[in-house]
Chain A
């Protein structure tokens, strides 16, 4: 086959996955929150309201797209794309199985972090270009929080890299064939907290705290531009959950089943990976439906004063343990 065609097909697959994920996750969020809030959620369209989100997306596509008069037009139009594209790019490196990966990058983990760190730029563009005080405050909060938590998140992933001795996400998965890196509990917890904040979930959804900032940086957006901002937020949650599964819960592997056996059953590893990821997403949603929101100064204090030193210290401890292990057992 033409290699260009393969590239295009793979890209389209990633895009399709992202869109489908968005639709499924919005429906899931509605149902999970409804369950937590003793209500029913969508019930009218399709069985158990399953098609509600599909119709909502169609509505967003066909809706009138008003542009406020005072916005900075180029930036205002560009911002949703700048938020959306990195989120889509991050899908490239995620290994859904040993072979199901758009591009098996040697520096996959670094690549995901690199593209994800572009998102605050887009959010700041959206907030600034909207020419709205709520948007601006929301954008400042989002950028403040994301910049604060990029570093601890990366540092929390480092112990895993040291244990797997690779930045390739598939290698990290294979390195967990006997024991999942979840055993490195502090690294897992640090990564979880940093990731919760990074993906803007309650209790850290300060950027669009609707009871304070109306809708944060997305206040002035409507129609599909809003849809893109919204979609990339759900996509970020998915990527974070997928990373969490990849780094700490053995990716597409199952315990006590060898990788070759798994791969022999066709799509089975992909299903395993998706189930694990959606389980993490479910837990995040349960947290979202229960906890109150922290205040912005508390959030930043937690980031700089606790999470950053703690993750640095843990990198050192893990390094020492690995070194001692190597000297005792001999290099692997």
Chain B
């Protein structure tokens, strides 16, 4: 990774008529500060510039105690550079949506506005994302977490919901885009307007597609609420679908059922206690979450992690990657009706969790990777178990692949289904296996190696077609590559300490940094702000699955209900991570 040239960035932005101050922030990178009014111009200029910062990694806010800093994290894949655009908004002001420049902003903008008390203008779906009406904008510093006593007190009071909703209601700014306009455009597309109690779903017109085979017969569309208790929505995802017979006309993902406010909770914890929260984010791949946070803290502390600790992180990370991919692989079978596969892969997952338990003492909530190193060394029994696992896993993988990937019915159902184009994937901020299935080879382990990944010999599986089948191929390939890395790990584990000497209470200097790891779901980033105290000032958790969900939402239109289940399953969304 390189740093962008500050003078070039400044001249490019000033050429577009944007007043900007460009500075290089230590441990973070190049930051452009622009006025809120000229954010859109700046983003367009950077996107259309020859350095093409056309990928929006993330969008989030920070309360500086004086105003809200909105951070747009951009990336240029062609030059492998990252750039941060910051705009300072006063409290309770209006944020102008940038979703038409970077569709990836669709969900993050909603989240930002509800959690910081901003109002949003120009957004196609200006609704709350994670919280309900009545929830205060809790990421502001003035809102503090309730103590247990306060919670108990409040339980005895009668809460006037209407009062609360009045105080913290809709995030839509005036003039709000009227729902009528959306309905009219739906009618203009030739599809019959929904009737009765079913309000039209507020999807961007650009995303909303007419169903294939519109027949101009006015039939009533149904609004089908799939989830959060549906058998196959992979957690507590709720898909609100407008359907015409069995055909999906438009979809809206309703999330937030598992929202715990991890970003806020992290602000009240010491640095070495945040790991437990991270485990509960993406609960299927805890090691990667912990690792991202540990890397960010280490960057600020400037500690050198011992080589053995890095290797152990890689080893556990890859074991966890297989365990996570397996938890995706089996349900893909369930979604298509192959119940056997689910139970076959859980045989492997059982032995993986056994290994992880042996080393970390936990089966899922590891809290194993801490700033400075890891908690415990590998045990001899674990090593034997890993070798035994590797002996059988490859044969089991061959069998599983034959059962599902080689099956004609499965192929007929998944090939050409839910096709994600590379342009679309990049526009929606999709990373990880979903991006690689479209032919874009981008893997942080190879392209921005962290934690000694450059010392290992492995390949990055890439598929071309971007359909459900390609996503399966990529993830199956990744599992095979992971076994290669694990083999190298246990054969050549270097001697040494498993943790660096770090103080008991960590106090990183005030600063800001971004660390990302390639989690099974994509780029899991931690953007960490510190103020010199023993707990983070603000922690932003970039959930890769949320970006996959945004893209997945748009893939369902035109397909059948049966396809919707399979496409959503193939995107590998984990709601613990999306809702945080």
A126 to B406: give the CA distance in the assembly, Å.
37
Per CB-CB distance, the 4 closest pairs between chain A and chain B, nearest first, are A293-B337, A211-B232, A292-B336, A37-B343
Query: Are A38 and B347 in touch, CB under 8 angstroms?
Result: yes
Query: Are A209 and B560 in touch, CB under 8 angstroms?
Result: no
Residue B364 CB within 8 A of the other chain? no
**Nearest CB of B to A128, in Å:** 14
Query: Are B343 and A298 in touch, CB under 8 angstroms?
Result: no
Q: Could you give, for residues 197-228 of chain A, a 1 whenever the CB lies within 8 Å of some chain B CB and a 0 otherwise?
A: 00000110110011111100000000000000
Residue of B whose beta carbon sits closest to that of A294: B409
A37 and B339 contact, Cβ closer than 8 Å, known pairs A211-B232, A212-B561: yes
Query: Are A292 and B561 in touch, CB under 8 angstroms?
Result: no
Residue B403 CB within 8 A of the other chain? yes
CB contacts (< 8 Å) of A291 on chain B: these are: 337-338, 407, 409
Query: Are B343 and A203 in touch, CB under 8 angstroms?
Result: no
CB contacts (< 8 Å) of A294 on chain B: these are: 409, 412-413
Q: Which residues in window 304-349 of B have CB below 8 A to A?
A: 333-340, 343-344, 347
Which of A38, A140, A211 meets B343, CB within 8 Å?
A38
A289 to B338: give the CA distance in the assembly, Å.
7
Residue A297 CB within 8 A of the other chain? yes
Q: Could you give, for residues 12-43 of chain A, a 1 whenever the CB lies within 8 Å of some chain B CB and a 0 otherwise?
A: 00000000000000000000010011110000
Query: Are B246 and A205 in touch, CB under 8 angstroms?
Result: no
Residue of A whose beta carbon sits closest to that of B247: A297
Q: List 30 A-B contacts (CB under 8 A).
A: A33-B339, A36-B340, A37-B343, A38-B343, A137-B246, A137-B561, A141-B246, A202-B337, A206-B562, A210-B231, A211-B334, A211-B335, A211-B336, A211-B337, A211-B565, A212-B561, A289-B339, A292-B338, A292-B404, A292-B407, A292-B410, A292-B413, A294-B409, A294-B412, A294-B413, A295-B413, A295-B562, A296-B246, A297-B560, A298-B412
A71 to B282: give the CA distance in the assembly, Å.
40
**Nearest CB of B to A40, in Å:** 11
CB contacts (< 8 Å) of B339 on chain A: these are: 33, 37, 289
**Nearest CB of B to A85, in Å:** 29
Residue B224 CB within 8 A of the other chain? yes
Query: Are A290 and B412 in touch, CB under 8 angstroms?
Result: no
Residue A133 CB within 8 A of the other chain? yes
CB contacts (< 8 Å) of B561 on chain A: these are: 137, 212-213
A297 to B563: give the CA distance in the assembly, Å.
11
Which of B222, B340, B413 meets A290, CB within 8 Å?
B340
Instruction: Apart from A210-B232, A290-B340, A296-B562, list 15 A-B contacts with CB within 8 A.
Output: A37-B339, A38-B344, A38-B347, A39-B343, A140-B246, A205-B337, A210-B231, A211-B336, A212-B565, A289-B340, A290-B338, A291-B337, A292-B413, A293-B409, A298-B412
CB contacts (< 8 Å) of B565 on chain A: these are: 211-212
Residue B79 CB within 8 A of the other chain? no
Query: Are A214 and B246 in touch, CB under 8 angstroms?
Result: no
A212 to B337: give the CA distance in the assembly, Å.
9
Query: Are B347 and A209 in touch, CB under 8 angstroms?
Result: no
A290 to B339: give the CA distance in the assembly, Å.
7
Residue of B whose beta carbon sits closest to that of A36: B340
CB contacts (< 8 Å) of B246 on chain A: these are: 137, 140-141, 296
- Interface size class, chain B: 20 to 34
Residue of B whose beta carbon sits closest to that of A137: B246
Residue B230 CB within 8 A of the other chain? yes
A160 to B350: give the CA distance in the assembly, Å.
51
A282 to B412: give the CA distance in the assembly, Å.
26
The number of inter-chain residue pairs (CB within 8 angstroms) is 74
CB contacts (< 8 Å) of A205 on chain B: these are: 337
CB contacts (< 8 Å) of A33 on chain B: these are: 339
- Interface size class, chain A: 20 to 34
Q: Which residues in window 540-577 of B have CB below 8 A to A?
A: 560-563, 565
| Overall SS of chain B's interface | helix
CB contacts (< 8 Å) of A36 on chain B: these are: 340
Residue of B whose beta carbon sits closest to that of A136: B222
Query: Are B337 and A292 in touch, CB under 8 angstroms?
Result: yes
**Nearest CB of B to A171, in Å:** 38
A189 to B335: give the CA distance in the assembly, Å.
28
Query: Are A296 and B560 in touch, CB under 8 angstroms?
Result: yes
Which of B231, B410, B560 meets A211, CB within 8 Å?
B231
A144 to B222: give the CA distance in the assembly, Å.
19
Q: Could you give, for residues 73-97 of chain B, a 1 whenever the CB lies within 8 Å of some chain A CB and a 0 otherwise?
A: 0000000000000000000000000
CB contacts (< 8 Å) of B224 on chain A: these are: 133
A291 to B341: give the CA distance in the assembly, Å.
10
Q: Could you give, for residues 290-312 of chain A, a 1 whenever the CB lies within 8 Å of some chain B CB and a 0 otherwise?
A: 11111111100000000000000
CB contacts (< 8 Å) of A38 on chain B: these are: 343-344, 347
CB contacts (< 8 Å) of B333 on chain A: these are: 292
Query: Are A295 and B560 in touch, CB under 8 angstroms?
Result: yes
CB contacts (< 8 Å) of B404 on chain A: these are: 292
Query: Are B222 and A133 in touch, CB under 8 angstroms?
Result: yes
Query: Are B563 and A209 in touch, CB under 8 angstroms?
Result: no
A328 to B213: give the CA distance in the assembly, Å.
54
Q: Which residues in window 408-428 of B have CB below 8 A to A?
A: 409-410, 412-413
A264 to B344: give the CA distance in the assembly, Å.
49
**Nearest CB of B to A299, in Å:** 10
Q: Could you give, for residues 262-298 of chain A, a 1 whenever the CB lies within 8 Å of some chain B CB and a 0 otherwise?
A: 0000000000000000000000000001111111111
Residue of A whose beta carbon sits closest to that of B344: A38
Query: Are B337 and A295 in touch, CB under 8 angstroms?
Result: no
**Nearest CB of A to B536, in Å:** 40
CB contacts (< 8 Å) of A37 on chain B: these are: 339-340, 343-344
A202 to B340: give the CA distance in the assembly, Å.
12
CB contacts (< 8 Å) of B337 on chain A: these are: 202-203, 205, 209, 211, 291-293
**Nearest CB of A to B349, in Å:** 13
CB contacts (< 8 Å) of A209 on chain B: these are: 337, 562
**Nearest CB of A to B350, in Å:** 11
A214 to B333: give the CA distance in the assembly, Å.
16
Query: Are B230 and A292 in touch, CB under 8 angstroms?
Result: no
In this complex, the member of B336, B412, B560 whose beta carbon has the largest number of chain A beta carbons within 10 angstroms is B336
Q: Could you give, for residues 235-250 of chain B, a 1 whenever the CB lies within 8 Å of some chain A CB and a 0 otherwise?
A: 0000000000010000
A205 to B336: give the CA distance in the assembly, Å.
11
Q: Which residues in window 393-410 of B have CB below 8 A to A?
A: 403-404, 407, 409-410
A33 to B562: give the CA distance in the assembly, Å.
23
CB contacts (< 8 Å) of A298 on chain B: these are: 412-413
**Nearest CB of A to B333, in Å:** 7
CB contacts (< 8 Å) of A210 on chain B: these are: 231-232
Residue of A whose beta carbon sits closest to that of B411: A292
**Nearest CB of A to B351, in Å:** 13
**Nearest CB of B to A285, in Å:** 12
CB contacts (< 8 Å) of B410 on chain A: these are: 292
CB contacts (< 8 Å) of B413 on chain A: these are: 292, 294-295, 298
A202 to B222: give the CA distance in the assembly, Å.
27
A203 to B412: give the CA distance in the assembly, Å.
13
